[in-house]
Structure 1
């Protein structure tokens, strides 16, 4: 069982030298030693903005309890665990490292050796270890929950087999709390352009509370600094068009799209500010964007007026703008019809049955990782329902929006709507799952094969009265490197098969559950971390994100 540390603040390097001559006459076999030296192989600490200290204390015992005849030497290297000679930094039993992230010789990994010389038995014991400094909130879960009557951001971070849970990460980092209530989280899993976005981070994090002025784009690397609130992101000219109670946002390679109140708004890769997308010249009739989704280079929306699916063009239309203060009102891009391709498309989505209503969009399968533009070859699933209790699944391929020789709609399936599924049902999928959606009803998570309409339970919370409020695959869309196995080397399991589950228990508490799934979509065996993780300390959870 891996150690779980509840971190309510760790702050953290630069060291001074001498030189210890490693003569190699130390004893490796614990069974032959009269003294015992125990030292963890790895210590982990989150990087702080300021200089900090970290203390390492070994467990050393002698047969007679006397340590007066022992001598100690701690050595350090930043170039590798086998590098010799190493600098001697301490001759005490316990070593304290002073770490300054701004120093020229700062490193994310410090390799140490502890030499313990027994002057009574004339032996020397060596124990290696390392201190790893990990970047804050990188490949981590963010949990939006309620604490003490206000919104709070918690975090679940991973480093070298350890899990760090910080229920009050936002308040700790900022020194103050949100005032509003929690509403929604969004992540755009592409790195920021530091020149235009004014900060450098591996992904973009957006938080929404009931106060749009205090929430918006957050810089997780700099303690959740508010880079732009929602009024800035949508500009004063458009703010009256926004329904903050019903706002969805998705990001890809060519920008992000928000869907709200019947409108679609686009953000640029070089600007977080969003401008409304407008009907292109080929689009006939009025439209109302009931729901939508964005992929690598295109978006899809469902038009409630025309009962049709429409294409949001992110590549070849609209104005260009950058930074946080673009001048004037911009055109976010064209909304276009999706033209039926006879002999390719399995169904015409330009005019579906008038009684079908959109339930949810979910990004899904990466169906081809080679050939031309594999970064575009992701699927999107659109789930509609009819009054007769039937469900309908449309499988879109983003690649088709820039290539006219393939089907835009490659699949269409009808099945009985599973019990309990509504517009508010949490749903997700991942790039390794073909024609599979995961959804939650009550305290259970289901795996749905929509080609057959078969649902099976893959997880059930022990509290029968619990409600699952959010469900998210860590990697659930397209990514810059097209690697569906990302996470395997560091986390020990692909992020595209790592499922986050927000559970609100019957006693009013929030629990965050992480499930590691196998390729069939069931809970896998343990790897570097447990396949089922239950993290506590949260209030009622509104939403989750992976950054």
Structure 2
């Protein structure tokens, strides 16, 4: 026991001696710790318009005032293996000429006396001046088609003369300025569509050449009149502010309807891109005969996996579910027992299609967006058809006869269906009306506050934030030119109110025919 006790004492003395020697071995020095501040972690920039100005603050714990003590590097990365040093000064002033996309910017500060480094990482999101905003198509003072844009990035900028300065020939009969949306770059296009010709533009510069036509994308064996082979309707539309045309990103499908009433359908991934074969505007009861389609494609905005179209010759709605093939459209069946709100085949009713529109309206069982059509018969009586143009068995939801109280409905220049209420806005010249078609509660309203200028467009927002029930109204006169205003349709079920929105009036524009949203490059 004693031997064990003495052994422990000896070990303790040796350990203490060892520790006392270690105290004299190490020398401790303060290091120059570097802290970088004054730089945001994420910065949004516009190509060619913006210059990146960064003036970071560097706090050093041992700063001796020697400005030559430090070296700097600004390193830009656009991928895991692509790096470029764009600056070697403390501050950075860098004009943005980068292609649109995300970048990583690394700031490195080196203390050359100690080898200590300070680091800061910044995410740069580069877009073009034209990456986000309202695309506007209309006529200039000479009656030529002209495109403009309300760019809405950090602030709102009105860009003019986009079509006339694009490098394309002058065009007439404007239809729309349309961004296809999506997430996969090779499938995205930006179209200027008119009834005289249509072209796709470079999405960054908005320039084009006469070679950029729809015919360049077609590999058809059928004879097609080249003079009418250009888009007037493209589906699906952008349906989110981020530029997506489905809730999950990019749609797998694209459908294009031309001036001649031909329809081309494409499954983008299978086709290897935005390419098309023979037209699909044929019916299963005559699969070799091309039928002229009315200028509307009817589908659920939230998710287009099929679409409907209207056969002008036979006055009937047809259904197309074979996207990715050239199969004919299905002829939909009708009952003769009066149990259905309306027949798909309108030949028996003597009614013809006047107008059609897709909305973001939803009901139980119809979650992806309801479509509407306005019909009229030989006696000039008008009807509204409400249906769900989805899948192999589209659903007829309702039919409504337009009451005689709807002043001038039969003379309307433009129509617009609310997604949130049973209301149709329509205009005749400079007069704006709203008709509530809710059965048993039909009412009509007139809005003289719109003014004396002729109305050139009515369009509800179904792309940016449809829940606000925003109605865009365009007017024009030769002195002040085009005006675009955004209104909110009130939610009071007992009255239709039209409420002007602050900072949502734009002037000195073209004679507007159509607007569409662009949310990405």
Task: Report the Cα distance in structure 2 between the residues aligned to 1:101 and 1:55, rounded to whole angstroms.
Answer: 15
Contact 2:319 2:330 in 1 (8 A): yes
Contact 1:312 1:334 in 2 (8 A): yes
Query: Could you tell me which residue of structure 1 aligns to residue 508 of structure 2?
Result: 537
Query: Could you tell me which residue of structure 1 aligns to residue 203 of structure 2?
Result: 220
Task: Report the Cα distance in structure 2 between the residues aligned to 1:448 and 1:170, rounded to whole angstroms.
Answer: 36
CA-atom RMSD in angstroms: 4.9
Contact 1:510 1:536 in 2 (8 A): yes
Q: 1:177 to 1:350 in 2, by over 3 A?
A: closer
Contact 2:51 2:96 in 1 (8 A): yes
Deviation track 1:435-476 (CA, whole Å, cap 9, x = no partner) reads 4333333234443323345333468433x1x22222333326
Task: Report the Cα distance in structure 2 between the residues aligned to 1:103 and 1:218, rounded to whole angstroms.
Answer: 16
Query: Could you tell me which residue of structure 2 aligns to residue 311 of structure 1?
Result: 319
Tell me, yes or no, if structure 1 residue 265 matches structure 2 residue 264: yes
Task: Report the Cα distance in structure 1 between the residues aligned to 2:294 and 2:37, rounded to whole angstroms.
Answer: 73
Contact 2:283 2:318 in 1 (8 A): no
Contact 2:412 2:427 in 1 (8 A): no
2:454 to 442, 454, 467: 467
Contact 1:232 1:273 in 2 (8 A): no
Deviation track 1:223-261 (CA, whole Å, cap 9, x = no partner) reads 244683144356685542765799444336433141644
Query: Could you tell me which residue of structure 2 aligns to residue 299 of structure 1?
Result: 307
Contact 1:255 1:314 in 2 (8 A): no
Is the deviation greater in 291-300 or in 132-141? Answer: 132-141
Query: Could you tell me which residue of structure 2 aligns to residue 31 of structure 1?
Result: none
Query: Could you tell me which residue of structure 1 aligns to residue 61 of structure 2?
Result: none
Deviation track 1:58-78 (CA, whole Å, cap 9, x = no partner) reads xxxxxxxxxxxxxxxxxx999
Task: Report the Cα distance in structure 1 between the residues aligned to 2:334 and 2:101, rounded to whole angstroms.
Answer: 59
Task: Report the Cα distance in structure 2 between the residues aligned to 1:244 and 1:207, rounded to whole angstroms.
Answer: 14
Tell me, yes or no, if structure 1 residue 256 matches structure 2 residue 259: no
Tell me, yes or no, if structure 1 residue 240 matches structure 2 residue 225: yes
Task: Report the Cα distance in structure 1 between the residues aligned to 2:277 and 2:412, rounded to whole angstroms.
Answer: 26
1:358 to 353, 370, 388: 353
Tell me, yes or no, if structure 1 residue 514 matches structure 2 residue 497: no
Query: Could you tell me which residue of structure 1 aligns to residue 444 of structure 2?
Result: 455
Matches within 5 A, 1:366-515: 366-368=361-363, 374=367, 377-399=368-390, 401-402=391-392, 404=393, 408-416=395-403, 418-421=406-409, 425-429=413-417, 432-452=419-439, 453-457=442-446, 460-462=449-451, 464=452, 466-475=453-462, 487=464, 494=466, 497-507=469-479, 509-515=481-487
Once the two structures are TM-superposed, the CA of residue 352 in structure 1 deviates from its matched residue by 5.2
Task: Report the Cα distance in structure 1 between the residues aligned to 2:101 and 2:475, rounded to whole angstroms.
Answer: 44
Secondary structure at 2:296 match in 1: strand
Contact 1:291 1:358 in 2 (8 A): no
Consecutive unaligned residues of structure 2, counting only runs of 5 or more, are 1-32, 56-73, 77-86, 108-122, 238-250
Once the two structures are TM-superposed, the CA of residue 170 in structure 1 deviates from its matched residue by 4.4
Task: Report the Cα distance in structure 2 between the residues aligned to 1:313 and 1:304, rounded to whole angstroms.
Answer: 20
Query: Could you tell me which residue of structure 1 aligns to residue 279 of structure 2?
Result: 276
Secondary structure at 1:334 match in 2: coil
Q: 1:104 to 1:298 in 2, by over 3 A?
A: closer
Task: Report the Cα distance in structure 2 between the residues aligned to 1:225 and 1:347, rounded to whole angstroms.
Answer: 46
Q: 1:423 to 1:298 in 2, by over 3 A?
A: farther
The structure with more radius of gyration:
2
Consecutive unaligned residues of structure 1, counting only runs of 5 or more, are 1-18, 25-41, 58-75, 79-87, 112-129, 320-331, 477-486, 488-492
Once the two structures are TM-superposed, the CA of residue 142 in structure 1 deviates from its matched residue by 1.2
Task: Report the Cα distance in structure 1 between the residues aligned to 2:94 and 2:318, rounded to whole angstroms.
Answer: 58
Secondary structure at 2:399 match in 1: strand
Task: Report the Cα distance in structure 2 between the residues aligned to 1:423 and 1:241, rounded to whole angstroms.
Answer: 34
Contact 1:242 1:260 in 2 (8 A): no
Task: Report the Cα distance in structure 1 between the residues aligned to 2:184 and 2:175, rounded to whole angstroms.
Answer: 24
Task: Report the Cα distance in structure 1 between the residues aligned to 2:290 and 2:37, rounded to whole angstroms.
Answer: 82
Tell me, yes or no, if structure 1 residue 141 matches structure 2 residue 127: no
Contact 2:264 2:276 in 1 (8 A): no
Task: Report the Cα distance in structure 2 between the residues aligned to 1:104 and 1:300, rounded to whole angstroms.
Answer: 36
Task: Report the Cα distance in structure 2 between the residues aligned to 1:516 and 1:45, rounded to whole angstroms.
Answer: 31
Q: 1:281 to 1:53 in 2, by over 3 A?
A: closer
Task: Report the Cα distance in structure 2 between the residues aligned to 1:251 and 1:337, rounded to whole angstroms.
Answer: 22
1:208 to 190, 193, 207: 193
Contact 2:456 2:513 in 1 (8 A): yes
Q: 1:297 to 1:103 in 2, by over 3 A?
A: closer
Tell me, yes or no, if structure 1 residue 168 matches structure 2 residue 166: no
Task: Report the Cα distance in structure 2 between the residues aligned to 1:425 and 1:414, rounded to whole angstroms.
Answer: 19
Task: Report the Cα distance in structure 1 between the residues aligned to 2:234 and 2:278, rounded to whole angstroms.
Answer: 13
Q: 1:131 to 1:390 in 2, by over 3 A?
A: same
Secondary structure at 2:216 match in 1: helix
Contact 2:265 2:279 in 1 (8 A): yes
Once the two structures are TM-superposed, the CA of residue 494 in structure 1 deviates from its matched residue by 4.5
Secondary structure at 1:395 match in 2: strand
TM-score normalized by the length of structure 2: 0.63
Once the two structures are TM-superposed, the CA of residue 393 in structure 1 deviates from its matched residue by 0.9
Once the two structures are TM-superposed, the CA of residue 208 in structure 1 deviates from its matched residue by 2.4
Query: Could you tell me which residue of structure 2 aligns to residue 126 of structure 1?
Result: none
Once the two structures are TM-superposed, the CA of residue 314 in structure 1 deviates from its matched residue by 4.0
TM-score normalized by the length of structure 1: 0.61
